[in-house]
Every structure is written in C-alpha cells, then in structure tokens.
A and B are shown apart, each in its own frame.
Chain A
Amino acid sequence: MNLNTLTIDTVRSALAEGTATATSLALSFFDAIQKQDGEIGAFLTLSKERALIRAAEIDGLVKDGKPLPPLAGVPVAIKDVMVTRGVRTTAGSRILDNFVPPYDSTAVARLEQAGAVALGKLNCDEFAMGSSNENSAYHPVRNPRDTSRVPGGSSGGAAAAVAAGMAVATLGSDTGGSIRQPASFCGVVGMMPTYGRVSRYGLIAFASSLDHIGPLTHSVKDAALVLRTIAGRDPMDSTSADVPVPDYVVELEKPIKGLRVGVAKEYFGEGLDPEVRGSVEAAIDRLRDLGCEIVKVSLPHTEYAIPTYYIVATAEASANLARFDGVRYGYRSKKTRSLSEMYQRTRDEAFGTEVKRRIMLGTYALSAGYYDAYYLKAQKVRALLTRDFDEAFRKVDVIATPTSPTAAFRLGEKVNDPLAMYLADIYTVTADLAGIPGISVPCGQTKENLPIGLQILGKHFDEATVLRLAHAYETGVRE
C-alpha cells in the first residue's frame, strides 16, 4: 500500500475487504513518521495511545459487521493550534510548551466521531503567524518535494504531512492564506471554507474575524469528505453559521459545463513568477476546454489587501494574545518579584520575534490617537475589498487565480525581511478578509519540480461549486 497517495476511499475499501485494519494502517503511518519526520519535521507531538484506542474501536466495528462511519480508520493529523483533550497543544509556541488542554476543539471531535484516527499534532508557525513555517518555536518544517525549501505556512506541517504520506488528511487553519499557500507549495489540495462554516471552538485564536479551519488532502474528493464532516453550526461558536451544509461529495459529480469562471488582471500583475503564470493560465485554458466560460472581472482594490490585513489581523492578535500572561496555563518566567514584572518577562521570554512584532503593530494600531487612522481605516477598506468580490460574483460563479506568486522559496530566504514574507500571501489574504471560500489545487510544476497551485475562489457558502470545479479540473487533468 503506497501511503503517499492513499485516499479516504482506498482506506474504506481496504477495511471493507480486510486487506488492512485500522490498527495496521495507523501503525504503518507511525512507521512512516518514524522514518521520515526526522528530516521533514512536520509533527510536534504524536498521540499514539489515543490513535490506537480509536483504531481498535473501528476494527471492532469491522469484526462485528457493523456499519462504518464515513471516515472509519482514516489516519489524520491536526495542526497544533486546535486543542485536543489530554494531548499537548503548543500553537508552535514556547509559551504553551507544557499545555495539555482539558477539552477537544469541535472540528477534531467531529473528525473522530466520524471514525478518523488522529495520529498527532502538526508543526506550524507560532500562533499561525508566518508564511514559511520558520516561525515555529520548535523547528522549521522542510518541503518534502525539496528539503532545502520551505513548505509554506503557517500550516506547513499540515501540508508536508500529507505530501510525504504521513497522514491521509490533515486539518489546518487559514487566517491570511495559511491552508492554501502551503498546499500550493507542497503539491496537495487545501480548502478554506466560508467564514463561519466550520466552528472555531477550540481553535487557539490568532485573528478571530479571519480564522478558518479547513482540510488538506491528496484529492479534492477527500477535501469534500473532510469538510462535510466538520462543517455546520456549533452552538459553542457564536460566529458559526446556521446555514445548511450540502453534501459536498454528491455535489462534486454535477456537470461544470457553462460555469462562469472569472479571471482578474489584478492577480496576474507584477511579482508573479512567469512559470507560475504559465501553469495557471494553462489551467484556466483547461477549464475552458472542459466547458466553462471564462469571463474577465475586476477586483480593483486588491493591492490594498495586504496592508489592510496586517492592521486587522495584528489588532485582533494583540487582543487575543493578551491571555498568555503566565497565570492560568503555559510558561511563567522564574524569579519575578511583582505581578507586572511577571507578565512582561513571561511574554518577552516565551514569545518569538514575529509574534512580538505583530503584537506591537496591533497594539500600536489600536492605541490612543491611531485607532481611526489605522484600525478604522482598515475596516473600511475591508468593506471595499469585500464589495469587489460581491460585484464580481454578479457576473461569475467562481474566480480562478494563482495561489501564490512563486513556488516554494528556500529556507532562510525571507526571514530577515518581514514585508517580503507578508507578500507571499498577496493572492490569498483577500478571501480571508471577505470571508469567501477558496481552494488550492495542484496545477503543474516548475522546471525545478516545485509544485504550483491554482486557486479557485467562490461565493459565500458556495464551497460546493468551488469543490466541483476543482474536482473537474483535477480529474480532467488526470484523464
């Protein structure tokens, strides 16, 4: 069994035919992790005991001939920003080095209820702040396609684990592109659903109005299967939407002929690598061949997305990260004589450079005298960016763009230039600000064999069309 390409359907038939058990599968994956992860660095914590208990339950169902839940025995792994009861959860930060959560996040609980076997917790940029996974307080993740390169970020571990065959599917989080950009860099599928589609309960908050949980997988169908499991209203998250969840898997098979695909020149401008442009344009031609109508659209405020994002996201982060104060959980600085000194030393010693930079930027933007100039201004531009999409989606069903302006860059290439690093998210952040769904699906590779991603963006709550088109593209290319 080739773990590198194992899909949820293959796991299902292997269990049904008795060629594998959930336990033997989990053990094969732990072996693969043991063999490869020293070099890749995708995992921070393994939850072997929990996984094997879960796998034994599934094997019990198979043995008794009972019906199997939809993700029975599927080995999955979770970005370490989602809390897991009894399993250490760090958010990639020293400040939570020893944190063992007392409850499960809703997305993880739903995956396990559907029969998935959670192997462990995945490396990421500290508090999901980064585009290369080099901001992890533990160790960087290396791109399985070329270990001198980054896997993207912040869900770098989640993308690398799937690409290297160390999990069939993973859960990541996307605040500015953190699912789609690493999916693109590692050559896997990554889906960010509509804001509010998946409960954020138990997701360690970075920027609450921008945080999304979503799957990374080998295939679009697997993304649909995982999303179907984790989506839907959760009373524990007041921003989770009470909007019916369609059966994404059934929707995949509907025809795409006549779908209108928007192409915006703002996503093909300066800074776009020619090889990436070539692949994405070829992918769009392919969609035309498959019967789609290609329509020019305009998203005129696109160039203002990154500055808007870095105000909104850091302002929210500065408030969210105030809770890490050394009192109730996590690291506390030793030898401090007063409470205020304890807060300051704890945070200074345990937060990394990028986290401090963003807390500082966010605090500055919210501080007296600057609120209107920065935070309020950014919220207004956020409204304009969202309006751009509203207008475009009057004319088209989806919009196709590159996921990232370049393929995976080298480790160390951008670490000393925060602004250059931020620009790696130039094609992904706007969807987070507007709250619309988006997917990255592999669409070729560079001459150096580095994967390139096609991004498909859709209307609010219309993941079904995004997935359907991505699936048609993926299977159309394969044929």
Chain B
Amino acid sequence: MNEDKVTEEDVSHVAELANLDLSEEERTRMVRDLNSILGYIERLNELNTDKVQPMAQVSDRYGVDESKQGSERFAYAAREDVREGLRSSLPHEEALRNAPDADGTFFRVPKVIEK
C-alpha cells in the first residue's frame, strides 16, 4: 500500500494558510480526497521535464518580446500611467454598498488585535 502523502496535520496547516475553518468531518474527508487526487497527479513524475521551460501564461506566446529583459518583455500588457486610470474610481457610496458592515466611510471589521 502507498503511504498517504497528506496527513491530518497537513490538512490543518493548509486550512490555516487558506483561511478555512474546517469541521472535524471535513478534515477527515479532505485527507482522503487530497490523497486520492494527489495520487493521481503523481503520474506527472513519469515525465522528464528538466529541460522544459515552465509555461505560466498563454499570452506569453503572442505578447512577449523575447529579445528584451525584465519588464520590457511584457510591454504588450502595459498601458500609459494616467491619473484616473482606465475608468474613474467608484463613488464612495457605491463601493461600500455591498459591504456586510460599513460606517459610511470605512469597511468595518471585528477587532484585529486579540486580547
């Protein structure tokens, strides 16, 4: 039998990183599901990719200027830096309208510093 890659402890750690407060039942199920999916993903290791350049974006293929370095390479995605941007900012009231809690000026959240 294969040893499970993901333990209960891993799940708790990753849940914390992802800001998820999983129930006991969810954690148990997550251990099972992640191990099953990762077991399947394992087959990627059959491929030797030592000399392959990673591909993060399709748009790299049609936009990037390979002859340039750094941010110059991605000049296709740049736009002029204008004060109002491409559209004016949302009016304050509209930006706050969907907030679960707001005081008219700011979003309101529970205490950040715990006792």
Contact = CB atoms under 8 A, between A and B. Distances in A.
Nearest to A316: B56
A343 B99 contact: no
Contacts of B17: 363, 367
A102 B95 contact: yes
A128 interface: no
A471 interface: no
A381 interface: yes
Interface in A386-424: 386, 418-419, 422
Contact of A376 (B29, B37, B54, B110): B54
A356 B61 contact: no
Interface residues of A, number: 73
A339 B30 contact: no
Contacts of A303: 43
Q: Interface on chain A toward B: helix, strand, loop, or mixed SS? A: helix
A460 B41 CA distance: 27
Interface in B67-104: 76-79, 86-87, 90, 94-95, 97-101
A304 interface: yes
B20 interface: yes
Nearest to A327: B107
Interface in A309-347: 310-311, 318, 322, 325-332, 336-345, 347
29 contacts: A99-B98, A100-B98, A102-B97, A102-B98, A196-B58, A196-B59, A209-B57, A304-B43, A326-B100, A327-B100, A327-B109, A329-B99, A337-B111, A337-B114, A341-B110, A344-B20, A347-B19, A347-B21, A351-B20, A353-B26, A360-B14, A360-B20, A363-B14, A374-B41, A381-B49, A382-B55, A383-B53, A418-B36, A460-B61
B112 interface: yes
B1 interface: no
A435 interface: yes
Nearest to B56: A379
Contacts of B112: 338-339
